[in-house]
Amino acid sequence: MTEQAQGRLQGTGLAFLAGYVDTLGFLALFGLFTAHVTGNFILIGAALADSAHSSVLLKLLAFPAFIAGVVLARLLTAAYESRPQAALRPALLLEWVLLVGFMGFGLAATPVGSAPGPLAMTAGLLGACAMGVHSGVSKLLLAHLAPTSMMTGNVTQIVIDVVDLVRGARDPGLSVRFGKFVWPLAAFAIGCIGAAFAFHRLGFAALVVPCLILLGLMVSAGPAAAAQAQAHPL
């Protein structure tokens, strides 16, 4: 697989996964954003102002759980500092383990009821930790790709490039850059839609989809991924 094809596979796969997991967590666990710290801050403010909300503790704890995921990703990649090309598979494996835990505790908590109990709380925190690892891996090992969980910057860059294209600006890298950002954005959106339908049919078992995606990315993280990691060291 070429370097460009490898990058597109990783970017679209991880973006689909991020949109999917974030949407499923939102639907399953009282509006919890597993990947978006900003969204949880907004929901915490709203929940604190409304005494009828019983999920504020989960949203408060999701922030340190997300940070813990980033810390784990950094410590893992630091352990491979002399050979960063070898860090990607164990980092994706760590995210996979956390997502399997998210699914397992979610299934054990079903039906969740009107308030998050201990099992549902653990499921949500494992999901947030998994997405912290996801964000850390994107920054530390896949910085050559477009962001896969935060789409605001991607949309901004796409709009800038479209405006430049319409006004006839001569930028030889525009088409390459446009493709780099538009595919993850489309994959993220499809992941969000897919998760909504899958959760309503399968519940927490629908998390098997991102788990399978991570397994596929681990298998494909071969020579091309190693070359990219060497070109973009930690």
Domain that holds residue 188: 3-231
CATH number of the domain residue 72 falls in: 1.20.1250
| Helix 88-109 / helix 3-28 crossing angle, nearest 10 deg | 20
Rounded to whole angstroms, the Cα distance separating 199 from 202 reads: 5
Highest mean pLDDT among 36-40, 41-45, 142-146, 169-173: 142-146
Tokens, residue 96? 């996979």
Rounded to whole angstroms, the Cα distance separating 221 from 185 reads: 22
Q: Report the pLDDT averaged over residues 178-197.
A: 93
Supply the pLDDT for residue 232.
46
Rounded to whole angstroms, the Cα distance separating 121 from 56 reads: 11
Label residue 53 by pLDDT band (50, 70, 90). low
Using a 10 angstrom Cβ sphere, with 0-12 exposed, 13-18 middle and 19 or more buried, the burial of residue 196 is middle
Q: Is the pLDDT of residue 230 over 80?
A: no
Q: How many domains is the chain partitioned into structurally?
A: 1
Cα Dmax for the chain: 57
- The answer to whether the beta carbons of residues 204 and 31 sit under 8 Å apart is no
Supply the pLDDT for residue 218.
94
Label residue 66 by pLDDT band (50, 70, 90). very high
